[in-house]
């Protein structure tokens, strides 16, 4: 009798290489037509659900920067017939938890619900997503909190660095400005602006669902419709591509601190680029996590110039960077920058050794299965895979693609991707012996 | 609440609130404890959902066990543990872990130093071999000591000196703990860190890094028999050190004067007032008071909308941007209970302090909302379900407890002790806590504007 109300359920059983355990992802289509991915595991009586809305804070209307961020903060501050306190009491009374967050490419909701009261918890989440109230007192309270965050960011060297870097890199594109908005833009937001922000983002045509835990595919289909079925079909159009516009150089922002924070980078590579996997492995060797990377070895272990340095592939939907970050005492930062430039150059010219490549591959392929630990983590991974446009069998093929990368691939991609002459360093602090380029 | 919570403002003061309920989930069923012949305590937590294993060794030695004047040496040693031994080259430990697809890390607190790796379950043998090797055979090469000292000084700059809140927090603790070494920062005072040398490291290592001063915790896709046999092979041959005895640190004298800290820093964006009280921690076999204080912190400040502070200060009064109460229940010696109030612009810190005092006075007068009490009790029950999903977190809660003087029985009993706490017990603890003088009140503020200062000097 269930299949009548259920759309389509297909299962793909994926064996992780080297691990004799299946991650069994079921693709679920709800009766109302919403897609969801599920890993069922009934050993603990709760379910974790990640609901993501693509577009995120980049869908702010012109002149309304910060509207989507403020709106996100208000989703749990009163919904339906409940004011903020009544809503919070209801959630606590069910021991459910909903975490609302917003990024440049997505608004995310991570929910946990006990099996024993799942439907009631789902009704609360539905109310928050579909019928937030934006009561005046709640708006003013949360607006005050946002303004204090904006003030705090203005005195936080890490935030100053990333805001400076983003503004120089992406200009007028939403990526170029902090998604919290400015004192002026947030101060001017009206209740109508918040309602408009809500309509722009929370729509069914951009929703992604990942779930893991104690729920069947049939139950999940019904639950998803219960939570999301009353949302409008469409929202605001997605933002266009962001033009990379960061020239090479050094920007210094004066800040009173014994240490300088440095954020640096140049143009990156997209996830769907044919060279993505070589670039992924290359970044691991250059400055990926752990002590073994070139940057950690040269800057921290050999010279003691920093507590930590890393590099990253910035894989945003509409513009990519290859970047890095470290902080060093003001008298050491110039030397650290020289060491980083030298590593960049060496890798670009000489590529990596076979030993480095093999170590990186063993780490990346060995670490991958360990990510799938716990319902909360798995639900997030399932949502992330869909957001990145990956096929449902990606988990089974991913390690093979890492292992297929050759030293020659890395050498070729390093030559293309790493551009020491194009690096731009944003340094926030009082660096000594470092000349700004403009 | 906010997407990016305002907790960021007082991050350095807030120990994760979710830890308040950190406990054991259905412990009896999947937790096994035994001791090796050399006295090493072993705890195995089975979780066969994923083919991974977490391997941890915790030493019952932390920053509060350092010799006077050598602050930071416990944490410095933690860094050196990744350097060479007689078997492994410097850095080889992490390289081998990574080459096996694992991750490794370490952490130092006042009561413990811990080493953790996470790998596929079939690599446990290798990890134990390496961890046992560095328990006694670290080499301490001179040049590595010197370079790594620069790294910890940079770490201090990054974590503490670059943050107004970090410096404020350090001052608050130093003022709360007059005599107990909990008043000394884990990372160390800079002038003492600069003097730490090879001899200081070796002295700390030789005093504390022994199997009879360590707890081995293995959690994940393993059985107790597998762990026992591997542990006997690798850790078993290391002799016990009979000189290792229970810790006895200097305790606080009666605190008869209220104390105040005012810290000015131009990097402060949101000034706030903090209050910290000395408070008892969980005692072996006697966790009732700590359970009542855990509930008290949750009632006062556990939620951004429904807790007493949030309701009165943020929602109804609209006089605070953020408020919180937090309590560290798990600590070898007495710990602290903390309140924070971040006022909205226009409300001074003096007024914010008065708001805090009034809210506490009203609470002592009016008591606890029974509906809120029931909700929190249900959340504690549910926390046991959610915690089962996070075996690493569970393993950590055992590690913290067992290096804080508690037993596995205490950890197993904790959820029941929490569940049994009554409203009367919570109110009794609240009265006791808030009427004592053993507190510190601190203001984190911006310096007065320069124009005002000039007027004064002119």
Of all residues in chain A, what percent carry a pLDDT higher than 90? Answer: 90
* Least confident stretch, B227-231, B354-358, B432-436: B432-436
pLDDT band at B450 (very low <50, low <70, confident <90, very high): low
Residues of chain A with CATH 3.30.830.10: 7-228, 249-429
Residue B415's closest CA among B446, B385, B445?
A: B385
φ/ψ of residue B309, rounded to 5: -65, -45
**What mean pLDDT is predicted for residues A421-430?**
98
User: What pLDDT does A421 receive?
Assistant: 97
Structural element, H or E, at residue A17:
none
Identify which has the larger pLDDT, A205 or B458. A205
Q: Which residues contact B167 (CB under 8 A, 6 or more apart)?
A: B160, B161, B263, B265
ipTM of this model? 0.87
Of residues A45, A368, A376, nearest to B385 (C-beta)? A45
Give dist(CA B148, CA B146) in Å, integer. Answer: 6
| Residues of chain B found within 8 Å of residue A146, distances taken between Cβ atoms | 2
**What mean pLDDT is predicted for residues A133-149?**
96
* Least confident stretch, A35-44, B17-26, B443-452: B17-26
Choosing among 3.30.830.10, 2.40.160.40, 3.90.550.10, 3.40.50.300, the CATH entry for A7-228 is: 3.30.830.10
Of residues A144, A151, A359, nearest to B98 (C-beta)? A359
Identify which has the larger pLDDT, B2 or A83. A83
* Chain A CB within 8 Å of residue B161 CB: yes
**What mean pLDDT is predicted for residues A51-73?**
97
Could you tell me the two tokens for A410? 């890395």
With an 8 Å Cβ cutoff, are B305 and A85 in contact?
A: yes
Choose the mutation target among B25, B48, B106, B154 for the interface with A, i.e. most A CBs under 10 Å: B154
**What mean pLDDT is predicted for residues B29-56?**
94
pLDDT band at B208 (very low <50, low <70, confident <90, very high): very high
pLDDT of B378 higher than 50? yes
pLDDT band at A370 (very low <50, low <70, confident <90, very high): confident
| Residues of chain B found within 8 Å of residue A376, distances taken between Cβ atoms | 389-390
User: What pLDDT does B3 receive?
Assistant: 46
* Least confident stretch, A23-27, A66-70, A127-131: A23-27
- What CATH number should be reported for the domain whose range is A249-429? 3.30.830.10
Residues of B with catalytic roles: 78
pLDDT band at B109 (very low <50, low <70, confident <90, very high): very high
User: What pLDDT does A366 receive?
Assistant: 87
Identify which has the larger pLDDT, B376 or B258. B376
pLDDT band at B106 (very low <50, low <70, confident <90, very high): very high
pLDDT of A173 higher than 70? yes
Of residues B3, B50, B345, nearest to A101 (C-beta)? B3
pLDDT, mean over chain B: 91
**What mean pLDDT is predicted for residues A348-362?**
94
| Residues of chain A found within 8 Å of residue B106, distances taken between Cβ atoms | none
Residues B184-215, buried b or exposed e (16+ Cβ, 10 A)? bbbbbebebbeebeeebbeebbebbbbbbbbb
User: What pLDDT does A15 receive?
Assistant: 37
Q: Reduce the DSSP state of residue B445 to 3 states and report it.
A: strand
Could you tell me the two tokens for A354? 């076979």
- Cα–Cα distances in angstroms (integers) from residue B364 to residues B177, B251, B427, in the given order: 26, 29, 7
pLDDT of A32 higher than 80? yes
| Residues of chain B found within 8 Å of residue A46, distances taken between Cβ atoms | 385-386, 389
User: What pLDDT does A438 receive?
Assistant: 66
On whether the CB atoms of residues A46 and A112 are closer than 8 A, the answer is yes
- For B288-299, the DSSP string reads HHHHHHHHHHHH
- To the nearest whole Å, the CA of A154 is away from the closest chain B CA by 8
**What mean pLDDT is predicted for residues A382-396?**
94
pLDDT of A8 higher than 80? no
Query: What letter would DSSP give residue B43?
Result: E
User: What pLDDT does A418 receive?
Assistant: 98
Query: What letter would DSSP give residue B83?
Result: S
pLDDT of B457 higher than 60? no
pLDDT digits (tens, 9 = 90+) for A392-406: 999 989 999 999 999
pLDDT of A308 higher than 70? yes
Chain A / chain B CB contacts < 8 angstroms: 210
User: What pLDDT does B28 receive?
Assistant: 54
Query: What letter would DSSP give residue A105?
Result: S
Could you tell me the two tokens for A120? 């009631």
User: What pLDDT does B78 receive?
Assistant: 97
pLDDT of A47 higher than 60? yes
pLDDT digits (tens, 9 = 90+) for A186-237: 999 999 999 999 999 999 999 999 999 999 999 999 999 999 999 999 999 9
User: What pLDDT does B437 receive?
Assistant: 76
**For B375, how many CA atoms within 13 A lie in the half-sphere containing its CB?**
21
Of all residues in chain A, what percent carry a pLDDT higher than 70? Answer: 95
Q: Which residues contact A382 (CB under 8 A, 6 or more apart)?
A: A25, A37, A38, A39, A50, A210, A211, A212
Strand arrangement, sheet containing A22-29? A8-15, A22-29, A35-40, A207-213, A46-54, A106-114, A97-102
pLDDT band at B12 (very low <50, low <70, confident <90, very high): very low
φ/ψ of residue B324, rounded to 5: -160, 155
Give dist(CA A106, CA B176) in Å, integer. Answer: 44
pLDDT band at B101 (very low <50, low <70, confident <90, very high): confident
Predicted TM-score (pTM) above 0.95: no
pLDDT band at B11 (very low <50, low <70, confident <90, very high): very low
């Amino acid at each position: 009798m269930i299949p009548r109300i259920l759309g389509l359920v297909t299962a793909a059983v994926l064996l992780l290489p080297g691990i004799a355990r299946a991650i069994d992802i079921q693709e679920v289509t709800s009766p109302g037509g919403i897609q969801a991915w599920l890993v069922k595991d009934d050993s603990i009586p709760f379910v974790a659900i990640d609901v993501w809305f693509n577009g995120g804070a980049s869908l702010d209307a012109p002149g309304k920067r910060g509207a989507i961020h403020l709106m996100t903060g208000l989703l749990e501050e009163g919904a339906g017939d409940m004011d903020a306190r009544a809503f919070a009491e209801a959630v606590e009374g069910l021991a459910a938890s909903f975490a609302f967050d917003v990024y440049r490419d997505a608004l995310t909701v991570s929910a946990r619900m006990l099996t024993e009261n799942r439907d009631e918890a789902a009704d609360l989440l539905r109310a928050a997503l579909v019928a937030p109230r934006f009561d005046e007192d709640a708006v003013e309270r949360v607006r005050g909190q946002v303004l204090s965050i904006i003030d705090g960011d203005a005195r936080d060297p890490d935030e100053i660095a990333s805001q400076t870097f983003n503004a120089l890199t992406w200009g007028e594109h939403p990526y170029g400005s902090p998604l919290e908005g400015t004192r002026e833009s947030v101060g001017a937001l009206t209740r109508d602006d918040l309602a408009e922000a809500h309509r722009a983002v929370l729509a069914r045509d951009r929703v992604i669902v990942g779930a893991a835990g104690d729920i069947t595919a049939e139950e999940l289909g019904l639950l998803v419709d219960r939570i999301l079925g009353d949302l409008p079909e469409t929202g605001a159009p997605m933002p266009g591509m962001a033009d990379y516009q960061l020239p090479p150089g050094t920007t210094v922002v004066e800040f009173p601190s014994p240490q300088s924070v440095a954020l640096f980078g140049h143009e990156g590579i997209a996830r769907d680029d044919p060279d993505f996997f070589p670039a992924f492995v290359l970044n691991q060797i250059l400055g990926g996590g752990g002590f073994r990377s070139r940057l950690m070895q040269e800057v921290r272990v050999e010279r003691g110039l920093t507590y930590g340095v890393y590099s990253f592939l910035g894989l945003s939907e509409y513009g990519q960077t290859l970047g890095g970050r470290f902080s060093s005492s003001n008298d050491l930062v110039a030397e650290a920058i020289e060491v980083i430039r030298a590593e960049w150059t060496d890798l670009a010219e000489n590529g990596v050794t076979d030993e480095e490549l093999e170590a990186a591959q063993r780490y990346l392929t060995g670490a991958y299965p360990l990510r799938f630990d716990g319902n909360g983590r798995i639900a997030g991974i399932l949502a992330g895979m869909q957001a990145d446009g990956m096929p449902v069998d990606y988990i089974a093929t991913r390690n093979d693609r890492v292992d297929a990368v050759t030293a020659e691939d890395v050498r070729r991609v390093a030559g293309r991707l790493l551009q020491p002459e194009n690096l731009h360093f944003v340094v926030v602090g009082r660096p000594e012996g470092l000349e700004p380029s403009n | 609440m906010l997407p990016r919570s305002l907790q960021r403002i007082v991050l350095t003061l807030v120990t994760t609130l979710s830890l308040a309920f950190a406990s054991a989930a259905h412990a009896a069923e999947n937790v096994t404890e035994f001791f090796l012949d050399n006295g090493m305590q072993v705890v195995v937590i089975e979780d066969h959902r994923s083919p991974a294993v977490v391997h941890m060794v915790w030493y019952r030695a932390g920053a509060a066990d350092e010799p006077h004047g050598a602050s930071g040496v416990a944490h410095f040693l933690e860094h050196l543990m990744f350097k060479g031994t007689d078997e492994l080259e410097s850095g080889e430990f992490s390289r081998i872990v990574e080459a096996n697809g694992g991750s490794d890390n370490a952490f130092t607190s006042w009561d413990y130093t811990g080493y953790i790796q996470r790998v596929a379950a079939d690599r446990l043998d290798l990890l134990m071999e390496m961890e046992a090797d560095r328990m006694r055979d670290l080499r301490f090469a001179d040049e590595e000591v010197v370079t790594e000292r620069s790294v910890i000084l940079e770490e201090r700059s990054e974590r503490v000196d670059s943050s107004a809140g970090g410096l404020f927090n350090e001052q608050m603790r130093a003022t709360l703990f007059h005599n107990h070494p909990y008043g000394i920062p884990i990372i160390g005072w800079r002038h003492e860190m600069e003097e730490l040398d090879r001899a200081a490291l070796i002295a700390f290592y030789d005093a504390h890094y022994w199997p009879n001063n360590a707890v081995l915790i293995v959690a994940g896709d393993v059985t107790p028999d597998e762990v026992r046999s591997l542990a006997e092979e690798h850790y078993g041959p290391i002799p016990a050190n009979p000189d290792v005895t229970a810790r006895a640190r200097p305790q606080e004298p009666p605190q008869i004067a209220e104390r105040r800290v005012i810290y000015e820093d131009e990097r402060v964006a949101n000034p706030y007032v903090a209050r910290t009280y000395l408070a008892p921690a969980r005692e072996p076999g006697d966790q009732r008071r700590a359970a009542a204080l855990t509930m008290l912190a949750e009632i006062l400040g556990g939620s951004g909308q429904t807790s007493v502070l949030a309701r009165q200060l943020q929602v109804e009064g609209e006089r605070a941007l953020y408020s919180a109460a937090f309590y560290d229940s798990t600590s070898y010696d007495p710990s602290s209970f903390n309140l924070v109030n971040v006022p909205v612009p226009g409300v001074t810190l003096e007024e914010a302090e008065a708001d805090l005092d009034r809210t506490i006075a009203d609470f002592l007068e009016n008591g606890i909302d029974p509906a809120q009490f029931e909700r929190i009790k249900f959340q504690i029950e549910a926390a046991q379900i959610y915690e089962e999903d996070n075996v690493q977190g569970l393993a950590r809660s055992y590690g913290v407890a067992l290096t804080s003087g508690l037993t596995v029985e205490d950890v197993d009993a904790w959820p029941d002790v929490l569940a049994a706490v009554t409203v009367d017990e919570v109110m009794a603890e609240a009265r006791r806590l808030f009427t004592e003088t053993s507190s510190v009140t601190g203001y984190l503020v911006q310096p007065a504007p320069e124009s005002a200062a000039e007027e004064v000097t002119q």
